[in-house]
């Protein structure tokens, strides 16, 4: 069973998900990694604002399993243990990545007709895998202990 899996290529933020971001979304048993292209990173930081903006725009933090907050770092700052893993998808290491550790996730929901919804106490993330890829995503997530 692979440790990491590319599950989608776009996501949105908030309950309405009005703004979509296009970039790889990678899942593991410990976290979700939402990659933001550099051109969209500034727009994302501006749209978040408030408490979550201050939590996400934390370039000094490193991903630590069990960390108690969502964070955003440069993709090239992900620990080498993650990016050198043979299961880590081969993606360019430029841009930003939102890391949603398992410890901050309040709920996950993946209806058969829509997006995978991940909720933290501060924000909702809507991840949109291809409809035809849904079965593989559900299988991977369940094998890694996610309730979807």
> Which pLDDT score, from 0 to 100, does residue 17 have?
57
How far is residue 113 CA from its own chain's centroid? 20
Phi, psi of 35 (to 5 degrees): -90, 135
Q: pLDDT category, 22, cuts 50, 70, 90?
A: confident
CA distance 144 to 3: 8
**Helices (H) and strands (E) in the chain — how many of each?**
4, 8
Q: pLDDT category, 53, cuts 50, 70, 90?
A: very low
* pLDDT tens digit sequence for 95-144: 899 999 999 999 999 988 889 999 998 889 999 988 888 899 999 999 99
* pLDDT tens digit sequence for 10-19: 999 877 656 7
Site of tokens 């971001």: 21
Q: Which two tokens stand for residue 70?
A: 């969502």
Q: pLDDT category, 76, cuts 50, 70, 90?
A: confident
Q: pLDDT category, 40, cuts 50, 70, 90?
A: low
The residues that bridge with 105 in the sheet, in sequence order, are: 120
DSSP 2: -
Higher pLDDT, 46 or 23: 23
> Which pLDDT score, from 0 to 100, does residue 140 have?
96
């Amino acid at each position: 069973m692979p440790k990491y899996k590319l599950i989608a290529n776009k996501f949105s933020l908030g309950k309405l998900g009005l703004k979509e971001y296009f970039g790889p979304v990678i899942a593991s048993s410990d976290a979700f990694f939402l990659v933001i292209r550099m051109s969209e990173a500034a727009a994302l930081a501006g749209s978040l604002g408030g408490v979550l903006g201050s939590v996400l725009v934390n370039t000094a933090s490193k991903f630590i399993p069990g960390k108690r907050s969502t964070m955003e770092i440069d993709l090239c700052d992900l620990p080498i243990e993650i990016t050198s893993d043979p299961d880590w998808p081969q993606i360019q290491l430029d841009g930003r990545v939102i890391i949603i550790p398992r410890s901050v996730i309040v709920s996950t929901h993946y209806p058969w007709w829509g997006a995978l919804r991940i909720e933290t106490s501060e924000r909702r993330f809507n991840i949109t895998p291809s409809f035809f890829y849904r079965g593989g995503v559900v299988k991977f997530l369940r094998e890694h202990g996610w309730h979807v």
